[in-house]
Amino acid sequence: MEAALKIVILVGFALFFSMLLQTGKVQLYVNPRIVPYVKFGIVAMIAISLVSIRDIFKPKRKVNLAPYLFFLIPLLMAFSLPAKAMDSTSMAFGDVKISQQQGSNADYFTPDDIAENRTEDTVQMSDNSPMTEEDSLSSDSMDSTQADPDQTDSRLTMQGDTIVMGDNNFVQWLQEIYDNMGKYEGEKIEVTGFVFKSKDFKGNEFAPARLMMACCTADLQPVGLLCRYEKAAELKQDTWLKVTGTIRIVDYNGEKTPVIVADNVVSTNKPKNEYVYPY
């Protein structure tokens, strides 16, 4: 009985995980980067249940099933409730001040020497820096994302004369624009996102934002560029829009911040995967 329950739980979770992978719903829960680990988890659980099979036929006198109940609860929840795609209101963001959030981007995305060197030569960075050990690390990981020609570079190519911030490159473009504000001033930009407003926004401001998932649903947070648009007041929170406009650098609460000056705003469909990933 105990062994049977164990196997039911393990196989149940393995089944749930593989269903998520099959349907692609796994993206509602975790960053795609976790997917290989999830696969490993499936294999491990199947393996454990395989070796437990012969215990079923071995009767045991004392059975304490209570610990297993803990596992049944999430399993039940997994199969009975559908995954919910979050919007900005479902996470208790409440009134996170996006201006400050954007400000924080501005703080940490400000181009300094290192950021400017980054695209040119990653090795150089570690030479100049006093912190060799950590830097070689950082350059490694920077290499893999920033300088990976197959992935990021192709993500950050402009389509014609327009920057298109889509599902795959949203965060990457955001960082790039904050890093090199000067370079992109005056460029055309096209962004798809949902309307995010906060108390601090002026009447003509909103942000076409996306929810960024670093690890799993629990750490979702909205990210995006501030946008100025005359009829911003008419836009409803959480509706999906495609914004086309031009990037301008403005002084926002004492910080230089890139904003989009919108020319055209049209409503659009929710993208298949609502989340964007920093890596």
Partner 1 sequence: MKTQIDIVSGFLGSGKTTFINGFLENERLSKDRIVIIQCETGEIVIDDQLTEGKNIYVKSVLKESSFDAKYINEIVKKYLPHKIIIEHNGTKKLDDLLDMLYDRSIRKNCAINKIIHTIDAATFDIFMNNMGEILIEQISNSDMIVVNNAKGLTKNKLGNMEKTLKAINKSAEIVRAFIREEDLITVNRDILYHAGTKKHIKPSDILFSVFFVFILGYLLFSVSRSMDFSSLNIDLSWLQVLNTVFLSILIQAFPFVLFGVIVSSIMQIFISNEMIVQFFPRKKGLGFIVALLAGFLFPVCDCAIVPVAARLVKKGVPLPTAVTFMLAAPIVNPLVIASTLYAFPGQPSVAFYRIYLGLTVAFAVGLTFLFFSEKKPVVINRLEYITCRCGYCGENSIPKGFWGKIDAVFRHAGAEFFDVGRFLIMGAFLSSIVQTLLPKDILSNIGGGYVASLVIMMLSAFVLSVCSTSDAFIARTFANQLPMGAVMGFMILGPMLDIKNLLMLLGNFKKRFVIKLVLSIFGLSFALLLVLTKLFF
Cα–Cα distance for residue pair 151/93, rounded to 1 Å? 31
Contact residue for partner 1 among 12, 30, 209, 229 (CB under 8 A): 30
Token pair, residue 242, equals 């495609």
- Cα 196 from chain centroid (whole Å): 16
Q: Closest approach of Cβ 279 to partner 1, in Å? A: 5
**Considering CB under 8 A, how many residues would be counted as binding partner 1?**
90
Report CA-CA distances (Å) from 65 to 9, 23, 72, 254: 12, 32, 11, 61
Cα–Cα distance for residue pair 240/210, rounded to 1 Å? 10
Q: Closest approach of Cβ 167 to partner 1, in Å? A: 18
Report CA-CA distances (Å) from 6 to 50, 60, 80: 11, 14, 20
Kindly identify the residues of this chain, within the stretch 216-235, that bind partner 1 according to CB under 8 A. Answer: 216-219, 221
- How many residues can be counted in the chain? 279
Token pair, residue 165, equals 């911030």
Q: Closest approach of Cβ 6 to partner 1, in Å? A: 7
Q: Which is nearer to partner 1, 17 or 170 (CB)?
A: 17
Contact residue for partner 1 among 22, 69, 161, 272 (CB under 8 A): 69
Beta strands in 127-196 (DSSP E): 162-165, 188-196
Kindly identify the residues of this chain, within the stretch 136-175, that bind partner 1 according to CB under 8 A. Answer: 137-138, 141-142, 145, 175
Kindly identify the residues of this chain, within the stretch 234-273, that bind partner 1 according to CB under 8 A. Answer: none
Binding mask 85-124 for partner 1 (x = CB under 8 A): -x---xxxxxxxx--xx-xx--xxxxxx-xx--x------
Q: Closest approach of Cβ 38 to partner 1, in Å? A: 6
